[in-house]
Structure 1
């Protein structure tokens, strides 16, 4: 399995916009969703380009414009991060035990249901 690339703060913000969208988005639309950050279009395009190189977004040409969409869902991305973190642990069992210890009873119950 490939190691999932961690995201910088701005990359995470862009991915959150794309994950929340119900359609492909242009860089300008992403920029509009991040208006509180006062980002230049070139900055958004740079971040989208980095995310494309990291294989986290797919770029689709539509006439003169490009549209972007996530390659995988947020949940898929988080699951890969969790798997990579476990792969890095010298004692997987201990890491899992600590993780389970940090979960609420409701989350542990949900996990039991999923395992059954």
Structure 2
């Protein structure tokens, strides 16, 4: 699994598992622990404290369900990626140069996706 920027290794693994779930479902610590423990030796309390930390950092929301909490991400994986891209754009020097280097590195399919997204946004803003 690739490490998700902005998260530690276990945080990234937990966020990845939550993002891979149906967006309408949430998960308990037990749900995530059961998945992780198949792949690695890990303590339940480690998963619990990591999910609590992610909640404290604003990455997860939670609701009490009996004695446990049910967690869900506060943003989608795509929203998180967009936030990282915006941070890179605003902190990476001249925006035009950063965008030029970015566009030069994407493949044809990604370029087509970018053009389609820009067209959708242009249509959306012209309707306002």
- TM normalised by structure 1 equals 0.90
TM-superposed deviation, 1:52:
0.7
Matches within 5 A, 1:58-77: 58-77=61-80
Structure 1: tracts of 5 or more residues without a match: none
In the alignment, which residue of structure 1 is the partner of 2:6? 6
In the alignment, which residue of structure 1 is the partner of 2:34? 32
Q: Distance in 2 between matches of 1:54 and 1:87?
A: 22
Q: Distance in 1 between matches of 2:49 and 2:104?
A: 40
TM-superposed deviation, 1:37:
2.0
Structure of greater Rg: 2
In the alignment, which residue of structure 1 is the partner of 2:81? 78
Q: Provide the aligned C-alpha RMSD in A.
A: 1.3
Q: Distance in 2 between matches of 1:52 and 1:96?
A: 33
1:88 aligns with 2:91: yes
One of 104, 107, 110 as aligned partner of 1:104 = 107
TM-superposed deviation, 1:96:
0.9
Runs of 4+ residues over 6 Å off in structure 1: none
For CA contacts below 8 A with separation 6 or more, give which structure has more relative contact order: 1
Q: Distance in 2 between matches of 1:88 and 1:37?
A: 37
Structure 2: tracts of 5 or more residues without a match: 120-128
Give the number of equivalent residue pairs: 112
